[in-house]
Every structure is written in C-alpha cells, then in structure tokens.
C-alpha cells in the first residue's frame, strides 16, 4: 500500500519536474533567441551608424577645402576673366589635395568655364543646372550623378567674395564642383576605411539578410533626391545560435536520466545563470558577464556572446572618439595652415599693391620690399615643411651617409645661425667639446644640420632675453654623439611634453601665435633623428627655459686625423662678355633672371624647352654656362643633360629647381648637374654660382 501511494507521488514528482524543466528550458530558449535578436539588431544599428559617420569623416577634408577655395577673391575674379593660366596653375594643381578626378568651374550664369581632370573622366560639362540652383540655398551640397564614365560623387559650392559673410543666397559669382569617380579604386579605399565588403548596386537591387553578416545600405541620390544607386556594406558577424535548439532537444530527452541530479543542482546550474542573463540584459553588468562565462554549457556561450557585444560597443565608442579627435586635430591643423599661408600672402599682396598704386618714397619702398621678401621666405619655409612632412609620412626619406668633419660642421652651423640673431638681448654660445672628434664620422650631414637648425631656431624664437647654448660630447663607451641645445626662454608646460613632437599639435601661447609656423619643425626633427638611428628628448619648465638632447650613433671613418676648416665669407666678383644660356619656359622667371643680371656684362640667350636647349648647346661652342630648369616641356632637364654631357662634358650646367629636399638635391647632382639653385631665386646665391663657375674658371 505504501508502494502504491509512493509511486503516484514519485510519478507526479517526475511529471511535475518534467513540466517544470520543460518550461525552464523553453524559458532559456526564449531568452537565448531574444538575446540573439537583440545582439543582431544592436550590431546592425551600430554598424549602420559607424558607416555613416566614417563616410562623413571621409568627406570632411573635401568640404573644408572647397569652403576655403570658394570664398577666395581670386576665384571670384576668375569667373569673370576666365584666365586659363590662373586656373591651371592654381586650381589645376589641387586634384591631389581633393583626391578627385575632376574639378570644374561655372560662371554666375551657370555657363561652363573650364575644368581639370585625370584621364579617367573625359566628359566636360555634365553638372545639371538645377543642382546649381540648390547652391543658392545650401551653399555646399554633395550629390551623385551617372555619367558615361560611371557613377560619380559631386561636391559643389557657390563662389563668393571673402568679404561676403552672409553668403548672399540670391546671387553667386560662380560655381565650383569637385568630382570623384566611384570606381574600383574608390571602393577599395572605402572598403579599407570601413573594414567591410562593398558592392555598388542599382536602386532596385534586392538582397537577402544572412545570419552571419550584417549589412548597411547607403543610398546615392542626385541633386533632386532621386536614388540612382546604392552602396551595400557588409561585414562578417561571427555569432551563431543554430545549436541552441538541438541542445534543447537533447536536454529534454536526457531529462529523465539526470532528473535527480538536476533537482539537487537546479539553483546552481539553472536559476543562477538565468539570473545573470537577466542582469546582463537589464544592466549590461560586466561582473555578471564574467560569471556567466565561467558557468557551464550554453550559459558560457551566452556569456561570450554578451562579452563580444560589449567589446563591439567599446570598439565603436573608441573608434568614434579617435575619429572625432583626429578630425578635430586635422581641422585645427588645416585652419592653422590656412592662417599661416594667408598671413605672408596678405603681406605680399598688400605691400605690392601699395608700391604699385600709391606714391611712396624710396625709404618706404625699401621697407615694403623687405617685408615682401621676408613674407616670401616664410611662405617658402611653410611649403618646404609640408612637402618634407609628406615625404616622411610616405617613407620617401632615406639617409644619405657621407664623411663629416664634426668640428667644422658645428662651427659652420654656429656662424650661420649667429648672424640671424637681431634685435634681441641674447647671448648665443657654442660650448666647446671636452673631447672633440679626432676623426671624420659617418652620418647624414644635411639631416643632422636640419635637426640642429630647427632646435636652435626654436630656442632663439622663444628667448627674448638670456642665453642660447649648444654643443656636443663624444660618448666612446656607448658609441654615441650627444648634442645639447639649451635656452633660458619661455619654457614648455610639462603637460605638453608628450605632444611637443606630434605633427598636428602645437603648443599654443601668445608667443607661439606671434612667431607663427605650423609646428612641424620638431616633428620633422624627430623623424630625422630616428632615421639616423638616434633619439631626441626634452627637459623644460615654464619660465626657466628648455633643453633638447639629441643622440646619434658614433661611427668613425678611416682613422686619419682631421683639421677644422674655417668659415669664410663669399665675395662676388664681376665678369664681362660671358655667354649664358637660360633654359626657362616661364616668361616671368626668365625676366627675373634678366633683371638680376642686368648690371653684369653677361650675354644672355634663351631656350624655351629642353629640346631647344640641347640644340643650342651642341651647335654653339661659345656658351660658357647653362642655367637649366628641371621642369620644361618637350624634354625635361634630366633628359636634356643626358644628351649634352657626352658632347660637352666640361660645360657648367646649373639646375634651377623648385625641389628643395636633400634627396632631390642628391638626385640632381647624381644626374650630372654641376650645381643647383632653388626657387624662389636668391640673387646672392645666383651671383655666388656665377662667380664660382665663370670668373674662377679663368
């Protein structure tokens, strides 16, 4: 009787427990599927937000650049004069800046003026007139077009004078458009930026969602809002839930076998993990996720899923912060660049206008010309820094090791910098080494000098009163040369020490704003020092000055004692009846050569291209010297010298070039040129070369 009464109780217990666990595991299945749906939904949403933000950031440099160009008075003048030379030399060179295939301009009546483009776009005038109408209201607009070459991204802006702060929406001086072709290279670059697979599909394309992929669609609309194509972004989504239902069936089938064990361990194996799942779903608690991962079976898998979801959120947040910081720094750098370029240009244009259009005496004219010359040099310095930083970023800089007389190098540097100190109560001292270098060393002298000049120039800039010292010491034990540049000037706040060598960051203060500059000097110096295998460090306190330490490897050449050469001033001598060939296609540059040498008794003839230069040199043996432009039509300077040298090996040929880096200069000398002069032309440097290769050859 007891057995009969007990059996129904046990059976009831089994049945009720079965029902309980069936409900429990279906609850688990429900939460799992809910988590799957939520995670997938969140991932798609985050992916879609990430794509749109990255696309906005990718377009930001174009918007900044086009805003600057279309608020330019010279551009306004161009829409009236339609000066092709101005457009080719000024706007035509900006294809690389915009990273675009086409730059087009229209006048105020929406008539096409001219364009510059790469070979990938042959079409001339394809911007619809209604798109220009929208620019009255919106100022700058981005849209898409379908042209014979394919689908293109168009960014357009109305052209206004710089003194039109209200951006007159009923009248524009013209229109300017930047066009990028959405080709395989464009999609490849976009795929790299977004870390996703990209397809360019038609607006009617139907795609099916896949569990192991997340997708985002960006509609490409024309200026009237009509969809002309879609960009389909897809990224792998490595989260799978297919095994959940299978495991559920196995658990239900095996339930009767493990019922007793489950009754004992229900709280530990089921209830508590479900409690953790609930905490994670409600609050995203990290500790609950960690405990869930440490649990058994499917709960551990769910814990990994939650952790991956949290990690994706953190990665997105981190990426967003970095993107915003990068965008802020680059925008700040571009704004500073615009300011630094426009400042000397303002002085050049302003004082030139005063000289031309006003009555000024000789003293005032001399003062204005000095300002123009100084501003021109500042502008060249800014451009040189930008080009050098660009080459460093693209790994186009390599050390050019030569034998260097270290003592002579340091003495020459001291004398060169010393003459630049003016109007300052400042002591500039060269500290003699306690153990001077007894032998020549092997290093890149040009880059070493550039580093030291940058450091000394900064020290002098930021020290109005006090002392600037520099020197070196030989560290035989560690095979190093230690250079020290110390000043008693402004000093640098300790919080800025980690940023001082960053290329997009500059320590802003009243003095730094006053002296100007892009703040690239220390970034270039750091890159050069590391290229030479050395290190650069800083010690500084506000109000007490700064000390920069540069260490480079010590490597002696052959052990032959050296003597220190003195630094001599160069004297210009006068020559007459020398025949000089100037190979220059630009009329203004040729006129400048003529005016510089008008007081010398030189005979000057001209060639306007490389081919003509070769013919004149080979057919006129009385030519004494050639000033040859590197960049000429028909045949460039490198091609021309290859044909002249075998026939006239002793003819001095001096390259005139706009390239100023040490690598470019080495390439010029390796090509066989006797010497070089850089643009903008220096009258003193020109006379120095003429004296060296004409007068002193006699």
DSSP, collapsed to helix, strand or coil, labels residue 64 as helix
- Over the stretch 577-616, which tens digit does the pLDDT of each residue have? 789 999 988 887 788 888 888 878 888 999 999 999 999 9
What is the C-alpha separation between 10 and 15, in angstroms, rounded?
8
What is the C-alpha separation between 139 and 150, in angstroms, rounded?
26
For residue 147, give its domain range. Answer: 50-236
> Which of 221, 236, 251 corresponds to the end of one domain?
236
> Which of 346, 374, 393 corresponds to the end of one domain?
393
C-alpha distances in angstroms, 351 versus 76, 374, 380, 420, 517?
21, 12, 18, 24, 21
pTM over 0.85: no
> Which of 236, 261, 291 corresponds to the end of one domain?
236
| CATH code for position 530 | 3.30.565.10
- My answer on whether 470 and 587 are in the same domain is no
Q: Which two structure tokens, joined as six digits, stand for 183?
A: 């080709």
- My answer on whether 137 and 227 are in the same domain is yes
Residue 654: its pLDDT value, please?
A: 93
What is the C-alpha separation between 644 and 676, in angstroms, rounded?
17
Residue 652: its pLDDT value, please?
A: 93
- My answer on whether 407 and 533 are in the same domain is yes
Residue 571: its pLDDT value, please?
A: 33
Span of 97-101, 370-374, 438-442, 576-580 with lowest mean pLDDT: 370-374
- My answer on whether 483 and 364 are in the same domain is no
Q: From the CB of residue 14, how many other CB atoms can be counted at a distance below 10 Å?
A: 14
Residue 643 burial (10 A CB sphere; 0-12, 13-18, 19+): middle
Q: Which residue is associated with the tokens 């209200």?
A: 166
DSSP character at residue 269: I
Three-state SS letters, 79-116: HHHCCHHHHHHHHHHHHHHHCCCEEEEEECCCCEEEEE
Per-residue b or e along 183-196, where b marks 16 or more CB atoms closer than 10 Å to that residue's CB: eeebeeebeeebeb
Q: Which residue is associated with the tokens 């013209």?
A: 174
| CATH code for position 358 | 1.10.287.130
| CATH code for position 132 | 3.30.450.220
- Over the stretch 60-82, which tens digit does the pLDDT of each residue have? 888 888 888 888 888 888 888 88
State percent of the chain over pLDDT 70.
75
Per-residue b or e along 425-437, where b marks 16 or more CB atoms closer than 10 Å to that residue's CB: ebebebeebeeeb
Radius of gyration of the chain (CA): 36
With CA atoms as reference, report the closest residue to 644 among 663, 664, 667, 628.
628
Residue 45: its pLDDT value, please?
A: 82
Total tally of structural domains belonging to the chain: 4
Average pLDDT over residues 74-97: 86
Answer positive or negative: Cα dihedral of 112, 117, 120, 122.
positive
Strand order in the sheet with 576-583: 601-607, 576-583, 625-629, 653-657, 675-678
- My answer on whether 388 and 408 are in the same domain is no
What are the residues whose beta carbons fall under 8 Å from the beta carbon of 498, sequence distance 6 or more? none
- My answer on whether 522 and 617 are in the same domain is no
Span of 5-19, 350-364, 557-571 with lowest mean pLDDT: 557-571
Q: Which two structure tokens, joined as six digits, stand for 320?
A: 């967003």
CB 475 within 8 A of CB 534: no
- My answer on whether 447 and 476 are in the same domain is yes
Alpha helix (H) residue ranges in 443-596: 445-461, 510-515, 521-531, 587-596
Q: From the CB of residue 693, how many other CB atoms can be counted at a distance below 10 Å?
A: 18
- What is the pairing mode between strands 480-487 and 465-475? antiparallel
At residue 220's C-alpha, the angle toward residues 214 and 223, to 5°, is 155
- My answer on whether 593 and 488 are in the same domain is no
Q: Which two structure tokens, joined as six digits, stand for 264?
A: 């004992």
What is the C-alpha separation between 433 and 651, in angstroms, rounded?
43
Asked if residue 45 is part of any domain, the answer here is no
- My answer on whether 477 and 584 are in the same domain is no
Answer positive or negative: Cα dihedral of 295, 300, 302, 305.
positive
**pLDDT-based confidence at residue 246 (cuts at 50, 70, 90):** low
- My answer on whether 594 and 511 are in the same domain is no
CB 70 within 8 A of CB 103: no
**pLDDT-based confidence at residue 8 (cuts at 50, 70, 90):** very low
Q: Which residue is associated with the tokens 């490897």?
A: 553
Asked if residue 15 is part of any domain, the answer here is no
- My answer on whether 543 and 426 are in the same domain is yes
What is the C-alpha separation between 36 and 125, in angstroms, rounded?
52
Strand order in the sheet with 213-221: 197-201, 227-236, 213-221
With CA atoms as reference, report the closest residue to 288 among 310, 273, 270, 269.
273
């Amino acid at each position: 009787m007891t057995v009969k009464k007990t059996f129904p109780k046990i059976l009831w217990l089994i049945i009720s427990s079965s029902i309980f666990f069936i409900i429990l595991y279906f609850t688990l299945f429900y939460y799992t599927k809910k988590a799957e749906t939520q995670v997938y939904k969140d991932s798609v949403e985050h992916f879609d937000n990430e794509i749109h933000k990255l696309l906005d950031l990718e377009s930001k440099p174009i918007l900044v650049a086009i805003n600057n160009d279309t608020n330019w008075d010279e551009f306004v003048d161009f829409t009236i004069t339609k000066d092709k030379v101005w457009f080719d030399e000024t706007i035509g060179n900006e294809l690389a800046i915009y990273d675009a295939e086409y730059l087009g301009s229209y006048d105020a009546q929406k008539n096409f003026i001219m364009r510059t483009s790469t070979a990938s776009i042959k079409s001339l005038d394809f911007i619809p007139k209604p798109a220009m109408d929208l620019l009255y209201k919106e100022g700058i607009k981005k849209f898409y077009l379908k042209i014979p070459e394919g689908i293109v991204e168009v960014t357009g802006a109305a052209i206004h004078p710089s003194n039109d702060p209200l951006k007159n929406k009923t009248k524009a001086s013209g229109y300017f458009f930047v066009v990028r072709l959405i080709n395989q290279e464009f999609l490849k670059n976009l795929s790299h930026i977004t870390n996703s697979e990209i397809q360019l599909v038609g607006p009617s394309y139907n795609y099916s969602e896949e569990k192991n992929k997340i997708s985002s669609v960006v509609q490409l609309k024309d200026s009237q809002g009509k969809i002309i194509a879609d960009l389909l972004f897809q990224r792998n989504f490595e989260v799978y839930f297919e095994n959940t239902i299978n495991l559920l069936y196995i658990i239900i089938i095996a339930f009767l076998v493990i019922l007793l064990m489950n009754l004992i361990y229900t709280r530990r194996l089921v209830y508590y993990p479900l409690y953790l799942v609930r905490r994670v779903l409600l609050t995203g608690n990290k500790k609950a996720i960690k405990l869930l991962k440490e649990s058994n079976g499917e709960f551990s898998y769910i814990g990994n899923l939650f952790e991956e979801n949290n990690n994706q959120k953190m990665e997105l947040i981190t990426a967003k912060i970095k993107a915003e910081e990068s965008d802020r720094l680059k925008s700040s750098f571009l704004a500073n660049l615009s300011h630094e370029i426009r400042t000397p240009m303002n002085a050049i244009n302003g004082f030139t206008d005063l000289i031309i259009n006003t009555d000024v005496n000789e003293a005032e004219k001399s003062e204005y010309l000095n300002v123009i010359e100084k501003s021109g040099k500042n502008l060249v310095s800014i451009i040189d820094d930008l080009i050098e930083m660009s080459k460093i970023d693209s790994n186009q800089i390599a050390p050019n090791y030569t034998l260097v007389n270290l003592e002579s190098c340091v003495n020459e540097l001291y004398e060169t910098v010393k003459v630049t100190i003016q109007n300052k109560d400042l002591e500039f001292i060269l500290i003699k080494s306690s153990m001077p270098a007894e032998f020549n060393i092997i290093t890149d002298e040009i880059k070493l000098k550039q580093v030291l000049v940058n450091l000394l120039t900064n020290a002098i800039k930021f020290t109005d009163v006090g002392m600037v010292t520099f020197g070196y010491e030989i560290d035989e034990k560690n095979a190093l040369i230690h250079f020290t540049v110390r000043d008693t000037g402004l000093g640098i706040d300790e919080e800025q020490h980690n940023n001082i060598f960053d290329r997009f960051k500059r320590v802003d203060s009243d003095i730094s704003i006053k002296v100007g500059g892009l703040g690239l000097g220390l970034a270039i110096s750091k890159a050069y020092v590391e290229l030479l295998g050395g290190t650069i460090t800083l010690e500084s306190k506000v109000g007490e000055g700064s000390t920069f330490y540069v260490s480079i490897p010590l490597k002696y050449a052959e052990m032959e004692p050296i003597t220190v050469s003195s630094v001599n001033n160069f004297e210009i001598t006068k020559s007459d009846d020398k025949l000089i060939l100037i190979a220059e296609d630009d009329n203004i540059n040729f006129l400048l050569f003529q005016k510089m040498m008008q007081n010398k008794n030189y005979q000057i003839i001209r060639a306007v291209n490389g081919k003509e230069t070769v013919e004149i040199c080979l057919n006129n043996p009385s030519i004494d010297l050639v000033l040859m432009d590197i960049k000429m039509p028909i045949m460039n300077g490198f091609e021309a010298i290859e044909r002249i040298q075998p026939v006239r090996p002793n003819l001095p040929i001096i390259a005139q070039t706009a390239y100023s880096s040490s690598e470019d200069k080495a390439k010029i000398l390796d090509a066989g040129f006797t010497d070089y002069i850089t643009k903008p032309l220096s009258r003193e440097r020109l006379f120095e070369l003429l004296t060296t290769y004409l007068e002193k050859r006699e």
